[in-house]
Amino acid sequence: MASPGVESSPPHSPPGMSANAPIPEPSPGGFYALHPDDPAYRVFIDSLDYLPPEDIRRVKAAVSFSDKAHEHQTRLSGEPYITHPLAVAGAVVEWRMDGDAVCAALMHDVLEDTGVTKAELAERFGNGVADLVDGLSKLDKIEFASHQEAQAENFRKMLLAMARDLRVVLIKLADRHHNLQTMSAVRPDKRRRIARETLEIYAPIANRLGLNTMFRELQDTSFRLIHPMRSHVLGKALQTARGNRKELLSRILDSIRSKMGEVGIQAQVFGREKSLFSIYTKMVDKHLSFSQVLDIYGFRVVVRDIPTCYLALGALHALYKPVPGKFKDYIAIPKANGYQSLHTTLIGPFGTPVEVQIRTEEMHHVAQEGVASHWLYKDAEHSGADLQIRTHKWLQSLLEMQSGDSSEFFENVKIDLFPDEVYVFTPKGKIMALPQGATPVDMAYAIHTDVGNCCIAARINHELIPLRTELRNGDVVEIITAAHANPNPAWLSYVKTGRARSKIRHFLRTVQNEESASLGERLLNQELKTLGVEPPEIPSAAWERLVKASGNRSIKEVFTDIGLGKRLAAVAARRLLAEDAIPVHTTPGSLVIRGTEGLAIQLAKCCQPIPGDPIIGSIKKGQGLVVHTHDCPAIRKSRSHEPHKWIDVEWEPSPGSLFEVRIDVEVKNARGVLAQVAMAISDSGSNIEHVAMEGDPEKLFTLLHFTIQVGGRAHLAQVMRNLRLIPQVVRISRLRSEAEA
């Protein structure tokens, strides 16, 4: 059974070809670099015996077509280029995938590296093959600002193709796997870059799809390419350890087999060796030497059915004592990639820790080949279908993260590929899998975007907790929402999932654009009034010309650009008036602000202006209007060197809101003085946001640093007057930072 994203083509007519369309035949003498009697070609053709005859003929035609398309191309090693597509197709055949997938693997580079078009492929091999090849081709005809941008955009294209058809990523992984194995002729810097990209992106994708064998091989090969000396030394150490521990391992293996037979369980028992990369990662993460890594070897017990898994677990715990807290039941709660097994760690002979995985044969197939087990094993069809549905949901969630910025999307997906997970419960008992370190905010967005946007608090195990709290396995989490709540920008500092990060950024960007459009309109209107023109006097044709000249789609987008500092209001105003006979009379004017407009108008952190302070503003690109006090030391240099960047701003007569300001209060040390100061601030109608203390060496005085909320300069003066009435208060000052703007 195929997932919604994977459709197998009917055996007699590939997608896009009519039932009566002729199947392409290899052209006469159609092998160029490849000979029909070539052993590699013969082995490949012989392995196609699971496909219907019609598909085998199409595959032969695809070999011929690919060989001709790459006729004059060689790999850096000097080999004919066709050897690479043939190797990739061989890996696809090992997964027993359909004819379309094999043809696409053979021709995966023809759109990118030759003059062949998608239309030509569709005509000869059908739309299904053409779509697969297109999904595998890079966007090499587009100019990108940097390699990172090109990488991110190509990755986005591949994910879109993956979401439509899972075969795309399986062919891509086979392609990357073969490329890594044949890197000897590639420049060392390029070799390392490709290997790092594989570790960051392709290996985690293989893991996320449950392709454990491919995942390990990609990791180990990348490790050898990035750190050739380290992998060589570690490989030799592992080989030595294998000989030294051979007797111990045989003893454990025999005792497990004997115990299974003793309790009447039919089981396959075999040892497994940890991969080089996983040993290296453990040594680095835990600062261990090779001799300190004791769990290099583990054991697998493969049994008939699920009840027998638990019987085998009981037998093993009777044989060797289990390590407390080291048991994991991935059968009851499978991993997101469909992996199922019981994991336990036992204390073996001589105190050696022994890791054992217990699973059924079907689970073993899925554990090794993941989504590919759907094609490989008929007995894993049910599990494979479940896994493909789960994978399809994951791919759809990746598509929901899309934003205008491909680099941001790339980063969000990388975050989402980390495999470590925690399992938590909703109040109704539904299990949710989240990344290690996830918070209630991540869970809220995993439930629904609206739940995340309206989240205000959470209960973990019936207790109210801060939203930044990390969730643990088994937590029961209740999300508390409020209808008018909005995402907090501070959430971005601690959310773990790419979905949550993407949704928060999307909301903030939308809100910022609305606020920036409003600010931009006010700035442009102010500039027009400064030129002695009222906005209603300007004809609609002038507004249309401005929109067209700016390259925007609407006047609102022009306002947004002005509010975000991407366009100067003065330039836009003069362009509006340039071709119209409107008399211009320059009159000075100031922009009136409340200070509570939101993201579009920011009060500078260095001087923290409050109503009553003389203020001035600067439009910063991407930030909007940043407001400083006139005497802010951080802007002196900029004001004198770039006066054109500054605009006059003034406060609205009655803002009616509270603003943060920092004050220092020096007091004589006396019992209860902090309480007196706090009471005086409170009695003045001000809130204390933060307080810190700094003592002197003689312990005669203490400097109190307060961040308080006031309504304006007059309110601050009242707070200071009340503080001076306290006998122990020696000095009060408003704090201004010397930080650069």
Encoded amino acid at 521, one letter: E
Q: Which residues pair with 446 in a beta bridge?
A: none
Could you say which DSSP state residue 141 is in? T
Choosing from 94, 113, 408, 478, the catalytic residue is: 113
Instruction: Examine residue 695 and state whether it is found in any structural domain, yes or no.
Output: yes
Residues 371 and 242 in one domain: yes
112 is catalytic: yes
Residues 575 and 668 in one domain: no
Q: Is there a domain that residue 213 lies in? A: no
Q: Is residue 654 part of a domain?
A: no
- The angle subtended at Cα 726 by Cα 737 and Cα 718, nearest 5°, is 60
Q: Which residues pair with 297 in a beta bridge?
A: 273
Q: Using N-to-C axis directions, what is the helix angle for 540-550 and 569-578, rounded to 10°? A: 130
With left for phi above 0 and alpha for psi between -120 and 50, is residue 514 left, alpha or beta? alpha
pTM more than 0.85: no
DSSP symbols for 51-118: S-HHHHHHHHHHHHHHHHHTTT-B-TTSSBTTHHHHHHHHHHHHTT--HHHHHHHHTTTHHHHSS--H
Tokens, residue 653: 């007569």
CB of 678 closer than 8 Å to CB of 689? no
Q: Is 692 helix (H, G, I), strand (E, B) or coil?
A: strand
Mode of pairing for the β-strands spanning 646-651 and 268-273: unpaired
Q: Are residues 243 and 337 in the same domain?
A: yes
380, 401, 441: which is closest to 156 by C-alpha?
401
Give bridge partners of residue 661 from the DSSP assignment.
708
What CATH number corresponds to the domain at position 698?
3.30.70.260
d(CA 354, CA 383): 29
Place of tokens 């693997």: 105
Q: Are residues 664 and 547 in the same domain?
A: no
3 state DSSP class of 161: helix
> Which two tokens mark 606?
């260095």
CATH code of the domain in which 245 resides: 3.30.460.10
Question: 381 an active-site residue?
Answer: no
472-481 in b/e burial notation, b at 16+ Cβ within 10 A? eeebebbbee
* Domain limit, last residue, from 567, 582, 597: 582
CA-CA distance, 131 to 169, in Å (whole number)?
13
The answer to whether position 386 is within a domain reads no
Same domain as 674, residue 575: no
CA dihedral 531, 532, 536, 540 (to 10 degrees): -40
Q: How far apart are the first and last CA of the chain?
A: 61
pLDDT tens track for 184-208: 878 888 889 889 888 888 888 888 7
Secondary structure letter of residue 424 according to DSSP: E
pLDDT of residue 22: 47
Give me the domain span that covers residue 307: 232-376
d(CA 472, CA 647): 51
Enumerate the H helices of 227-360 as residue ranges. Answer: 228-244, 246-262, 276-286, 306-319
Whether residue 320 lies inside any domain: the answer is yes
User: What contacts 32, CB < 8 A, 6 or more positions away?
Assistant: 67, 68, 71, 80, 82
What pLDDT shows up at residue 565? 66
Of 303, 278, 308, 311, nearest to 293 by C-alpha is 278
Distances (CA, A) of 153 to 123, 147, 305, 412, 504: 28, 10, 45, 13, 22
Radius of gyration, CA atoms only, the chain = 34
Helix axes 99-106, 83-94, angle to 10 degrees: 160
Q: Do 238 and 349 share a domain, yes or no?
A: yes
Q: Which of 7, 94, 112, 650 is catalytic?
A: 112
Query: If 0-12 CB within 10 Å is exposed, 13-18 middle and 19+ buried, where does residue 133 land?
Result: buried
DSSP state of 198: I
User: How many whole angstroms separate alpha carbon 690 and alpha carbon 705?
Assistant: 8
Name the residue with tokens 């994978």.
Answer: 391
Q: In this structure, are 569 and 666 located in the same domain?
A: no
Give the 3-state secondary structure percentages of the chain, helix then strand then coil, rounded to 5: 50, 15, 35
Token readout for 502 is 């993407």
Q: Which of 488, 479, 584, 575 is nearest to 530 (CA)?
A: 584
Count of domains forming the chain = 3
* Residue 220 falls inside a structural domain: no
Q: How many other C-beta atoms lie within 10 A of the C-beta of residue 714? A: 11
Residues 666 and 574 in one domain: no
Nearest residue to 741 via CA among 641, 663, 638: 638
On whether both 665 and 531 belong to a single domain, the answer is no
Contact indicator for 85, 70 with CB cutoff of 8 Å: yes
CA separation for the pair 306, 329 (Å, rounded): 12
Is residue 678 domain-resident? yes
Q: Where are the alpha helices (DSSP H) in 401-497?
A: 406-416, 440-447, 449-453
Q: How many residues does the structure list for the chain?
A: 741
Last residue of a domain, one of 376, 408, 428: 376
The SS3 of residue 335 is: coil
Residue 392 identity: H
Question: What is the Cα–Cα distance from 283 to 287, expressed in whole angstroms?
Answer: 5
The angle, 0 to 180 degrees and rounded to 10, between the axes of the packed helices 147-164 and 406-416 is 60
Residue 301: which of 259, 334, 251 has the closest Cα? 259
pLDDT, tens digit (0-9, with 9 covering 90-100), for 11-42: 333 444 443 444 455 554 456 666 777 787 88
Residue 635 CB-density burial (10 A; 0-12 exposed, 13-18 middle, 19+ buried) = buried
Looking at residue 721, what is its pLDDT? Answer: 93
Contact present, 610 and 712 (Cβ < 8 Å)? yes
Kind of pairing, strands 463-465 and 615-620?
A: unpaired
CA 704 to CA 718: how far, in whole Å?
18
Residue 589 lies in a domain: no
In 361-454, at which residue ranges do the beta strands (DSSP E only) sit?
A: 421-425, 431-435
Counting as low any pLDDT under 70, the low residues of the chain are 1-34, 138-152, 157, 162-163, 294-295, 370-420, 512, 564-566, 570, 578-591, 594-600, 621-624, 644, 654-656, 737-741
Checking phi first, is residue 594 left (phi over 0); if not, alpha (psi -120 to 50) or beta?
Answer: alpha
Calculated CA dihedral for residues 617, 621, 624, 630, nearest 10 degrees? -10
Decide: residue 111, CB within 10 A, 0-12 exposed, 13-18 middle, 19+ buried.
Answer: buried
- Chosen domain end from 559, 582, 605: 582
Determine the 3-state secondary structure of 445 from DSSP: helix
| Lookup result for tokens 């009159």 | 587
